[in-house]
Each structure stands twice: as structure tokens, then as C-alpha cells.
Amino acid sequence: MGHGTIIARDRTGTVKWFNAKKGYGFIEPHDGGPDIFVHRTDVEHARRSTLTWGVDIGFDLRKNGRKVSAVNLRL
């Protein structure tokens, strides 16, 4: 998951949902737009095992091909 280019920094949003068993979830950005994918490995890099639904979170956006995901999570 470490490949790609950071396309935006210091974004904020709310954890919409996260399923630890499936290893992914989505963040609803505070500035609008589509929900943002977040992968388990990026949660683990933030030294967490899961994300709590409804919690505000800071993140950067990474683009890898046509996919955009939240990275560098700040809780």
C-alpha cells in the first residue's frame, strides 16, 4: 500500500465505518466530496488496530493509479 503520490495534506473527516475483519473502511471528508477509502495497513501505521465509527480524524490523500486513499492518519 506504500506506493503512489500524496495529492493533498492535512485533510479532516469522520470515520464513516471501518471493518477490522475485512481490513478497510471509509472516511467522510469534512469538506464534502466522495467518501475516502482507508486500508488496515494505514490504520496500523497510526499504531491502532481499528478505527471507531463517528470519530474525527486527520489524514493525507494518496493517489495510486486511479485509486485515492487516506494515509498518514492522525487521531
- CATH number assigned to the domain comprising residue 69: 2.40.50.140
Nearest to 5 by CA among 61, 70, 72: 61
Q: How many domains does the chain fold into?
A: 1
User: Whole domain around residue 35: which residue ranges?
Assistant: 5-74
- Tell me whether residue 69 is exposed, middle or buried, using C-beta atoms within 10 angstroms of its C-beta: 0 to 12, 13 to 18, 19 or more: buried
Q: What is the pTM of this model?
A: 0.92
The pLDDT, as a whole number, for residue 3 is: 84
- What is the chain's mean pLDDT, rounded? 95
Residue 1 has pLDDT above 80, yes or no: no
